[in-house]
């Protein structure tokens, strides 16, 4: 896959599940929302709190600390109190393998 690295297989995560991934010292989350995979920053932009402790619902990830939701495509918060986006990362899926480009991290 050239300059991409494998981070998981598609059968590792059922819908609404997440996996923590560490790339170049950066903590990311691989998320399965209704069968579509996304990769986002693990930490909430509002309070430095792990989104892994939240849940995935309707294409969004919820921070369980204050209840903010973030869109998994854009990273933008969809409700308060968060007002800054989390970073999203491009993925490629080939033959059941999920890849991320390290330069994007």
- Report the share of the chain in percent with pLDDT over 90: 89
Helix (H, G, I), strand (E, B) or coil at 24: coil
What is the reported pLDDT for 2? 63
The residue among 25, 49, 52, 30 whose CA lies nearest residue 40 is 30
Model confidence band, residue 103 (pLDDT cutoffs 50, 70, 90): confident
Domains of the chain: 5-104 (2.102.10.10)
What is the reported pLDDT for 102? 74
What is the reported pLDDT for 97? 98
The residue among 52, 63, 1, 58 whose CA lies nearest residue 30 is 52
Distance CA(31)–CA(81), nearest Å, equals 22
The residue among 44, 48, 56, 57 whose CA lies nearest residue 85 is 44
Give the model confidence (pLDDT) of 19-50 as tens digits. 999 998 999 999 999 999 999 999 999 988 99
């Amino acid at each position: 896959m050239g300059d991409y690295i494998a981070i998981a297989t598609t059968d590792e995560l059922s819908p609404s599940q997440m996996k923590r991934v560490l790339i170049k010292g950066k903590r990311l989350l691989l998320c399965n929302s209704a069968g579509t995979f996304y990769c986002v920053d693990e930490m909430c932009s509002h309070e430095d709190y792990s989104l892994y402790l939240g849940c995935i619902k309707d294409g969004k990830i919820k921070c369980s600390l204050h209840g903010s939701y973030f869109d998994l495509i854009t990273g933008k918060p969809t409700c308060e109190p968060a007002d800054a986006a989390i970073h999203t990362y491009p993925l490629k899926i080939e033959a059941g393998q999920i890849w991320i480009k390290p330069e994007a991290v």
